Structure 1
Amino acid sequence: MSTAPDTEAGSVSGTGTASGPEGGVEGQQKLPLLALLALATAVFVTSLTETLPAGLLPAISNDLHVSESATGQTVTVYAIGTALTAIPLTAATAGWRRKRLLLTAMGGFALANTVTAVSSHYGLTMAARFVAGVAAGLAWALLAGYARRMAPGHLQGRAIAIAMAGIPLALSLGVPAGTFLGKVTDWRVAFLAMTALTVVLLLWIVAAVPDYPGQERGEQPKMLHALRVPGVTPVLFVTLVFVLAHTILYAYIASFLDDLGMSDNTDLVLLVFGATSLASIWIVGAQIHHRLRVLTVTSTLLVAVAAALLAVLADHTALVYLAAVLWGLGWGGVPTLLQTAAGDAGGDHADAAQAMLVTLWNVAMAAGGIIGGILLDLIGSDSFPWTVLLLLLPVLAVVLSARSHGFPAGRSAV
């Protein structure tokens, strides 16, 4: 799930602004909102495509004549497609022009969602979902870096925050809306609506998003070299464990609330989470240029406090909603923080660092679904918040220890 602060030839000057005549931001002092909103819509499409089946499992399983647990693997195979292909495809397409690559990735979503909508065979549906995951690997290894290249140095964090706003919108509004559409019409209509949105987005990208060159052959990303760069490994570790902790709870939040007797409140709890996630993105976008470390520590603590409330005081409905507020405030800005940290730490190997971040993000999502299911069967849903707390302890320790590289006390735009 993420992207790279591009370091391709001719793209970044020493002051952090793009140089050259091709869509550069040299001398530009404001954000190109129309182009950034197109990227936010691309993020929305990728996030919603991944999670949409979760709200439509009974209908999909009935049509495909498989169990709901088998249908649930349509989410897992998406994450696997991204995890397996993000690094090799990022390396293979490093020389492509950025706009061509973005259009290719979004075209992949249009194709995959269309096939998913018309398929009556489980195998074909799973293949389409895998293709969607591959397209996500391309997109996530591109989008944040694309946003950075559009902005002057002092606004790069804000540009990434705008682009990443598509994530909480997809989770808090897109999934409930898609579920509602699937229920009042047919689940296939929800996927066809995703195709229609993607076609509109393709035209939007052609019209409004600037183009940038890819990397020269000698400058293309070397994945293993990035691991030797100080700060990259701590950021990747935090990504893996933080996303794992979040996914274990989020993927089974409906089961958790159902066990609390709050099954009728699931949509509202998710709406509260999504709204506060948007607020978090705004705060992070405004402050990330100088406070990346403080914001990362604060985000970790907020999610930990939310998990503690759910672990100890979940029998109080008001405190569950308070936990959703804190969870959203803590989590909403995390994609922006981690992508920015990976890009800053990676330096000349930023693309490689971002590709590995994408891979580990999706590994964590797939693992979170599997581990959460095991915990649910063996212990019960009340184990989720305790597991989140346990996982966040090493996250906090690594963020605090990576003071010189990874999550530095002082930050300037790359």
Structure 2
Amino acid sequence: METVTHAPSRIATETGRRLPIATLIVLASIGFVLVAMETMPAGLLPVIATGLRVSEGTVGLFVSMYALGTVIVTIPAISVTRAMRRKPLLLASVAGLALANSATAISSDVTLLLISRFVAGAFSGIIWGMLAAYGRKISPPRHAGLALSIVSTGAPVGFALGTPLGSWLGATFNWRLPFVGLTVVALLAGVFIALVSPDAEGQRGKSRLPVARVFRIPGVATILAVIFTWMLAHNTIYTYIAPYLRAAGSGLTPDVQLFIFGVSSIAGIAVTGAFLDRHPRPLLHGSVAVFIAAGFVLLFGHASPPAIIIATVLWGLTFGGAAAQLQAALTSAGGQDSDVANSFLPVAFNIAIFVAGILGAALLTRFDGLVLPVVMIGCGAITFLLTIYGRRSAFPSRL
């Protein structure tokens, strides 16, 4: 296979090949906002339902509408805006996200709330499609993996701290307060980027491929299949962790387990940052293999609280770096069309969230929660086989 060498970005050269740590951390904070904003209603279902005098099922649609906005809007929006300079586009998207989330925070009309969630999801998808490529463009090529790892810390921190903290604030004070807080964080991040962060060019017209052809770039479809199956394996048990713990009879509670998972995910980002630049392929194979092993422990060690805790730690460690690893693979495979390639990531991720909710609910009508680790193992095994299949075209030995 022909090897394509990408020239170092002009921004990296102009900044003396120094890693823009502050900007990368701010990009991570935006990722934190995106994850917390999407999952927040799930942690506040009864509180929001009581406050709006609607059913919990209606409030559950807030998550679905956010995911739907991401799925429908992301790819065409990225395609239309791919020639634009990255910094202005990111600022505009953050502003749109903050405006839509503000509507969620202040409105009492259910229809308007659903629309605001759809719009927020749309802007979220655009931002997710940009974060990895933008962080990589403004960083020295030799630190591409480290840059992606830093940017990717926002997601696990959002799972570990954002959603639990938001749930506590909403339950203790008012459900609107966490949404206001997320808007403030987003606006502060936008101000920092506007004043401090470097810009990066969009794609020139002659070098751009149609979106359909980007999808057909060798390796891209395989990476997206890995994203879907891995996220499905994860989200099915993550979403329904409470039924699993009830069936296990271990006495452990969902809030503690999700906190352990989130903290372990942050540690997983550190592990990924240490190995992603030099050993991306073995890192991916090892992550998926240990993820499957964690599923086996959750299935066969369900009666032992220490075993469940150990499995949760392994689960978090291996899954925490998944976003960075898969974004790196998409960015590498996409080449000059990496922005569009990365725009497929949130779409695949949110489709997996949607399918996981349906699959988990369907299974739990016939089985108890112990069926969920079986899904984790089965989908994890498919993921592992896909990583083997895509060794040449999708997952390079070095970034």
Task: State the distance in 1 between where 2:388 and 2:83 align.
Answer: 37
Which amino acid in structure 1 is aligned with residue 8 of structure 2? T
Moved more, 50-59 or 264-273: 264-273
Counting only pairs closer than 5 Å after superposition, residues 118-129 of structure 1 correspond to structure 2 as 118-129=106-117
Note the C-alpha offset of 1:25: 3.6
Task: State the distance in 2 between where 1:239 and 1:391 align.
Answer: 11
1:292 and 2:283 are equivalent in the alignment: no
In structure 2, the partner of 1:28 is: 16
1:373 and 2:364 are equivalent in the alignment: no
Note the C-alpha offset of 1:326: 0.5
In structure 2, the partner of 1:233 is: 221
Task: State the distance in 2 between where 1:238 and 1:360 align.
Answer: 9
Note the C-alpha offset of 1:207: 1.7
Paired residue for 2:87, among 65, 80, 99? 99
In structure 2, the partner of 1:192 is: 180
Note the C-alpha offset of 1:137: 1.0
Structure 1 pair 263/60, CA: closer, same or farther in 2 (3 Å)?
A: farther
1:355 and 2:343 are equivalent in the alignment: yes
Task: State the distance in 1 between where 2:6 and 2:347 align.
Answer: 30
Counting only pairs closer than 5 Å after superposition, residues 196-235 of structure 1 correspond to structure 2 as 196-235=184-223
1:18 and 2:38 are equivalent in the alignment: no
Task: State the distance in 1 between where 2:293 and 2:13 align.
Answer: 40
Which amino acid in structure 1 is aligned with residue 9 of structure 2? A
> Is the CA contact 2:291–2:315 (under 8 Å) kept in the aligned structure 1?
yes
1:49 and 2:37 are equivalent in the alignment: yes
In structure 2, the partner of 1:111 is: 99
Which amino acid in structure 1 is aligned with residue 101 of structure 2? N
1:151 and 2:142 are equivalent in the alignment: no
> Is the CA contact 2:246–2:369 (under 8 Å) kept in the aligned structure 1?
no
Task: State the distance in 2 between where 1:264 and 1:307 align.
Answer: 17
1:402 and 2:387 are equivalent in the alignment: no
In structure 1, the partner of 2:303 is: 315
Moved more, 331-340 or 280-289: 280-289
Note the C-alpha offset of 1:217: 2.6
Q: State the percentage of identical aligned residues.
A: 34
Which amino acid in structure 1 is aligned with residue 324 of structure 2? T
> Is the CA contact 2:208–2:336 (under 8 Å) kept in the aligned structure 1?
no
Question: Aligned Cα RMSD in Å?
Answer: 1.7
> Is the CA contact 1:284–1:295 (under 8 Å) kept in the aligned structure 2?
yes
Task: State the distance in 2 between where 1:257 and 1:223 align.
Answer: 43
> Is the CA contact 2:249–2:303 (under 8 Å) kept in the aligned structure 1?
no
> Is the CA contact 1:116–1:125 (under 8 Å) kept in the aligned structure 2?
yes
In structure 2, the partner of 1:325 is: 313
| 1:14-45 deviation digits (Å, cap 9, x = unpaired) | 565211xxx44457343111111110011111
SS of residue in 2 equivalent to 1:378: coil
Alignment coverage as a number of residue pairs: 396
Which amino acid in structure 2 is aligned with residue 155 of structure 1? H
In structure 2, the partner of 1:392 is: 380
Task: State the distance in 2 between where 1:202 and 1:27 align.
Answer: 21
Counting only pairs closer than 5 Å after superposition, residues 68-87 of structure 1 correspond to structure 2 as 68-87=56-75
Structure 1 runs not aligned, ≥5 long = 1-12
Task: State the distance in 1 between where 2:264 and 2:68 align.
Answer: 29
In structure 2, the partner of 1:276 is: 264
Counting only pairs closer than 5 Å after superposition, residues 54-69 of structure 1 correspond to structure 2 as 54-69=42-57
Which amino acid in structure 1 is aligned with residue 19 of structure 2? L
Structure 2 runs not aligned, ≥5 long = none
Which amino acid in structure 2 is aligned with residue 317 of structure 1? P
TM-score by length of 2: 0.95
Structure 1 pair 180/25, CA: closer, same or farther in 2 (3 Å)?
A: farther
Task: State the distance in 2 between where 1:188 and 1:163 align.
Answer: 27
Task: State the distance in 1 between where 2:249 and 2:192 align.
Answer: 44
